[in-house]
Amino acid sequence: MRTLLIAIVTMSVLAIGARFGPYLLARIGAPVTYTEADRDHDGWVSFAEGSYIFDAGHRSFQVGPETCTEYFALKDGLPIKRVCR
């Protein structure tokens, strides 16, 4: 019984890690939501998508009187997210 419980808990932790692990790593690199990290909109953040978001830079720019921040992929310079305050 104890072995079965350990197996169930281990499988649950691995399943959760596989589902959200890349996203959690991506959160360190840029403040994005799970939907934004899921680049191909299949409901899963793959390791490739997580690494794409993780390798991100940011730059500030002006839009009229507002200062905005753009998060972009270092790999190709394409914008990931723009935030204006």
Phi, psi dihedral angles at 61 (to 5 degrees): -150, 160
Torsion angle, alpha carbons of 41, 47, 52, 55, to 10: 150
Domain definitions of the chain by residue range: 2-84
Q: Give the pLDDT mean for 1-23.
A: 64
pLDDT at 38: 76
Q: Give the pLDDT mean for 9-23.
A: 59
pLDDT at 54: 75
> Model's pTM, two decimal places?
0.53
- Give per-residue pLDDT as tens, 20-75: 555 555 555 556 777 777 778 888 777 777 777 777 788 998 988 999 988 888 88
